[in-house]
């Protein structure tokens, strides 16, 4: 069953190649340090499809987060443009949801008010807001914490609430910047399982940054590797292990796992060697 779904996704991916949902055209970025800025991102071209779960791997400092900031609209690239659904994307808006490394919940609002925030900003009626909030609370399993303030929740719960807040505005794409890296191993595993379930339910395009190769192999339908100085995408492959394991622990027992892991790690390493 898992195999068929993965084949289907792949063929869909191939079909949609010409009409990419999100397109990054020739994105470049420099450290604004004097006139001769150090290049961070150098001519990145990338196409993301509607149901893609893209995992971007790369050594720290390679410009992963800068790329995400540009995709989100927080930062303007020095050159190039981002096109979402055939429209240039110039500033942050609710069609591009962001989940940060730190949960970034508004600390004075209860969990349900946090989830409601984006809906309120879009002037959605009160009745509809209430329905949506309870739907997303349910989706991330936080019904019983609805009236609590963020500080009263555990790290994993906070990150789940942050995901619900982002999902509630029904974005076309969700950007996630190492969202689970601050969590302990057990919680992280639960969150990964949870996120996969959410992705299967909503089929949203997810752009997920991580430095954890195993996490990328478990979650991504497509895996990218970026190198640094300047940042370029050096590996772009569909994930053959997609949907074949339930958790990072299980994925380690798959035959192809070690091979892929070595391949990706050596891709990241090779960059380190050339950089140093």
Partner 1 sequence: MFTTFIRNKQAPVRGVSAITIALILAIWTVSTNLKWIDPIFLPTPQSVWNAFLELIKNGYKGVPLHTHLINSLYRLFLALFLALLTAVPLGILCGISKYILAIFDPIIEFYRPLPPLAYYALLVLWLGIDDKSKVALLFLSAFAPLFISTVSSVQRVPQNRLNAARSLGATKLKILLYIIFPSCLPDIITGLRTAIGVTYATLVAAEMVAATSGIGWIVLDASKYLRSDVVFVGIILMGGIAILFDGIIRLYQRLQFSWVGKQD
Which residues are near partner 1 by CB under 8 A?
A: 72-74, 91-94, 96-98, 100, 102, 104, 106-108, 117-118, 121-122, 149-151, 155, 165-166, 169
Closest to partner 1 by CB, 78 vs 149, is 149
Closest to partner 1 by CB, 117 vs 257, is 117
22: helix, strand or coil: strand
Closest to partner 1 by CB, 9 vs 166, is 166
Closest to partner 1 by CB, 59 vs 97, is 97
The Cβ-side half-sphere exposure at 142, using a 13 Å CA radius, reads: 32
Q: How far is the CB of 121 from partner 1 (least distance, A)?
A: 4
Closest to partner 1 by CB, 78 vs 124, is 124
Q: How many CB atoms lie within 10 A of CB 11?
A: 10
Q: How far is the CB of 233 from partner 1 (least distance, A)?
A: 23
Closest to partner 1 by CB, 93 vs 258, is 93
Across the chain, where does the E strand assignment appear?
A: 22-30, 39-48, 53-57, 79-84, 87-88, 96-99, 173-177, 205-210, 222-227, 232-238
- Do 207 and 71 meet the contact criterion of CB atoms below 8 Å apart? yes
Q: How far is the CB of 152 from partner 1 (least distance, A)?
A: 9
Q: How far is the CB of 156 from partner 1 (least distance, A)?
A: 13
Q: How far is the CB of 166 from partner 1 (least distance, A)?
A: 8
Reference 67, options 174, 76, 54, 86; nearest CA is 76
Alpha-helical segments (H) within 208-247: 213-219
- Do 206 and 38 meet the contact criterion of CB atoms below 8 Å apart? no
Reference 183, options 174, 193, 175; nearest CA is 193
Q: How far is the CB of 1 from partner 1 (least distance, A)?
A: 36
């Amino acid at each position: 069953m898992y195999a068929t779904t993965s084949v289907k996704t792949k063929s869909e991916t191939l079909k949609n190649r010409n009409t990419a949902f999100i397109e990054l055209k020739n994105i470049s970025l420099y450290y604004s340090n004097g006139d001769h800025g150090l290049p961070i991102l150098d001519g990145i071209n990338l196409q993301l499809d509607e149901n893609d779960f893209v995992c971007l791997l790369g050594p720290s400092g390679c410009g992963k987060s800068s790329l995400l900031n540009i995709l989100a609209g927080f930062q303007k690239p020095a050159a190039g443009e981002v096109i979402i659904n055939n429209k240039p994307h110039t500033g942050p808006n609710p069609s591009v949801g962001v989940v940060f490394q730190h949960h970034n919940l508004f600390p004075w609002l209860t969990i349900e008010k946090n989830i409601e925030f984006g809906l309120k900003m879009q002037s959605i009626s009160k009745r509809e807001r209430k329905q949506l909030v309870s739907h997303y609370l349910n989706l991330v399993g936080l019904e019983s914490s609805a009236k609590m303030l963020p500080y009263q929740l555990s790290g994993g719960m906070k990150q789940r609430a942050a995901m619900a807040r982002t999902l509630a505005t029904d974005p076309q794409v969700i950007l996630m910047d190492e969202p689970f890296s601050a969590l302990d191993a057990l919680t992280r595993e639960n969150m990964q399982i949870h996120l996969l379930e959410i992705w299967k339910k909503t089929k949203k395009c997810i752009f997920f940054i991580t430095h954890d190769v195993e996490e990328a192999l478990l979650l991504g339908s497509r895996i990218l590797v970026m190198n640094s100085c300047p940042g370029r995408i050096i590996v772009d492959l569909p994930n053959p292990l997609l949907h074949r394991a339930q958790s990072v622990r299980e994925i380690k027992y798959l035959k192809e796992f070690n091979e892929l892991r070595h391949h990706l790690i050596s891709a990241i390493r090779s960059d380190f060697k050339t950089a140093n």
